[in-house]
């Protein structure tokens, strides 16, 4: 079976792996000792890889049919593998070899020297090298922390500096301190809603519209609700700004005033039982707008989401917690202690279960010294 290497961005590789699994549900992801290299097993064309990268938050590039070499100061073996790869994965046109270091350094390894030698192999095969305007880029991605080197024809931005990595919530016309970072918002939308075309996604407490903007940018059917009309106005301003800025021609994403505890009242009847993804970032502290207390609001919102959900729906809930040491390479263990900023973790678990949402995984994203965010991924389960 074909294998490809996904190169994950550094901000949260564990979330990036989960996002990739949601976007490519029929591919196996094989873990290896590198946190930022993930092996994808299954057929994947150049255009499919390109499409995934254009919507992914956590994945920066994919090495098609790529391979991972465990570096043991064995340059000649690496070069033999590269030569055999190039013979089996022919390309037409101009080529460049692009070295990229993602984590740490490798001992006795000079990327520029190796790149030069690979360029020599390509020239020997009669291929033309053009570093400034290549048709194809061959990546040597170096992960010093696991002593691994990933090689292959690269799709996407091998340096990882484009796309969502460049966008900031503060650049939008309507910003509030509650605005989530675009990279987390996009990741949550992908994790909740899965592949494009899967079905609609709802953010029942949209605030400044961060999730819905990402859903619109990735061409999803999406609806955002908020009780506060100022938020609805501001979120729409943001959405229109994005549509204009990114020249999105046919977005069906909408933001309207509505109550998260009664989602059915705000959606088109045809959506009932069809909503595939829910993203939820409930109010906390002084930003809370509702008259209900935190747990009551959450229970009613989760129940109202369940009422309109498809039986294959996923939900991503983001809640603030007291800061714990950054854990970007793994999900939390089931028994990890969690201190929510509002309420008890045990009662949140209980209320999710009682409203028909089974927790699959949890991750922590560090915000600042005293604040982290818990990202909870749950799936629909029928209620008796």
Ligand X SMILES: C[S@@+](CC[C@H](N)C(=O)[O-])C[C@H]1O[C@@H](n2cnc3c(N)ncnc32)[C@H](O)[C@@H]1O
| Binding-site ranges for ligand X (CB under 6 A) | 178-180, 204-205, 207-208, 210, 225-228, 231, 259-261, 281-283, 287, 289-290
Tokens of 4: 């490809």
Nearest to ligand X of 260, 351 (CB atom): 260
20 phi, psi to nearest 5 deg: -65, -40
Q: Which SS3 state, helix, strand or coil, does residue 324 take?
A: coil
Contact 102, 142 (CB under 8 A): yes
Tell me how far, at minimum, the Cβ of 215 lies from ligand X, in Å: 12
Tell me how far, at minimum, the Cβ of 165 lies from ligand X, in Å: 18
Tell me how far, at minimum, the Cβ of 307 lies from ligand X, in Å: 15
Tell me how far, at minimum, the Cβ of 18 lies from ligand X, in Å: 19
Nearest to ligand X of 150, 180 (CB atom): 180
By beta carbon distance, the residue nearest ligand X is: 207
Nearest to ligand X of 289, 358 (CB atom): 289
The set of residues, in sequence order, having a beta carbon less than 8 Å from that of 54 and lying 6+ positions away, is: 163
Nearest to ligand X of 156, 207 (CB atom): 207
Tell me how far, at minimum, the Cβ of 124 lies from ligand X, in Å: 53
- Please report the DSSP string for 213-255 in residue order: HHHHHTT--EEEEES-HHHHHHHHHHHHHHHHHTT-SS---EE
Query: 90: which DSSP letter?
Result: -
The set of residues, in sequence order, having a beta carbon less than 8 Å from that of 42 and lying 6+ positions away, is: 1, 2, 24, 26, 27, 28
Tell me how far, at minimum, the Cβ of 288 lies from ligand X, in Å: 6
Nearest to ligand X of 105, 168 (CB atom): 168
Q: Which residue, among 236, 281, 276, 234, has the nearest Cα to 254 in the 3D structure?
A: 236
Tokens of 185: 């918002």
CA distance 149 to 68: 6
Nearest to ligand X of 261, 331 (CB atom): 261
Nearest to ligand X of 293, 339 (CB atom): 293
Tell me how far, at minimum, the Cβ of 271 lies from ligand X, in Å: 17
Per-residue exposure over 149-158, b if at least 16 CB sit within 10 Å of its own CB, e if not: bbbbbbbbeb
């Amino acid at each position: 079976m074909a294998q490809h290497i996904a190169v994950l961005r550094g901000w949260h590789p564990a979330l990036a792996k989960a996002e990739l699994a949601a976007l490519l549900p029929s591919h196996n992801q094989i873990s290896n000792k590198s946190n930022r290299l993930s092996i994808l097993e299954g057929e994947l064309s150049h255009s499919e890889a390109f499409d995934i990268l254009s919507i992914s938050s956590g994945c920066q590039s994919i090495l098609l049919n790529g391979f991972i070499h465990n570096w043991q100061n064995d340059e000649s073996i690496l070069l033999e593998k590269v030569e055999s790869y190039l013979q089996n994965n022919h390309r037409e046109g101009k080529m460049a070899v692009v070295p990229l270091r993602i984590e740490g350094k490798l001992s006795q390894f000079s990327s520029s020297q190796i790149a030069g030698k690979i360029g020599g192999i390509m020239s020997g095969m009669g291929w033309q090298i053009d570093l400034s305007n290549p048709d194809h880029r061959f990546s040597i991605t170096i992960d010093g922390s696991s002593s691994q080197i990933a090689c292959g024809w690269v799709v996407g931005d091998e340096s990882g500096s484009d796309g969502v990595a460049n966008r900031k919530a503060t650049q939008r016309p309507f910003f509030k301190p509650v605005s989530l970072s675009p990279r987390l918002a996009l990741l949550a939308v992908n994790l909740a809603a899965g592949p494009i075309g899967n079905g609609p996604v709802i953010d029942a407490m949209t605030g400044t519209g961060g999730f819905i903007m990402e859903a619109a940018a990735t061409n999803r059917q999406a609806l955002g609700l908020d009780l506060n009309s100022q938020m609805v106005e501001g979120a729409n301003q943001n959405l229109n700004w994005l549509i204009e800025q990114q020249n999105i021609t046919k977005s069906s994403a909408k933001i309207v005033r509505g109550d998260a505890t009664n989602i059915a009242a705000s959606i088109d009847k045809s959506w009932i039982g069809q909503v595939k993804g829910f993203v939820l970032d409930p109010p906390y502290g002084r930003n809370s707008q509702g008259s209900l207390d935190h747990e009551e609001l959450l229970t009613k919102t989760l129940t109202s989401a369940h009422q309109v959900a498809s039986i294959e729906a996923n939900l991503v809930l983001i809640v603030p917690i007291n800061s714990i040491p950054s854990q970007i390479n793994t999900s939390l263990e089931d028994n990890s202690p969690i201190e929510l900023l509002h309420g008890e973790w045990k009662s949140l678990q209980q209320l999710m279960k009682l409203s028909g949402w089974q927790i699959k995984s949890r991750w922590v994203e560090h915000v600042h010294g005293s604040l982290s965010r818990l990202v909870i991924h749950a799936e629909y389960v029928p209620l008796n």
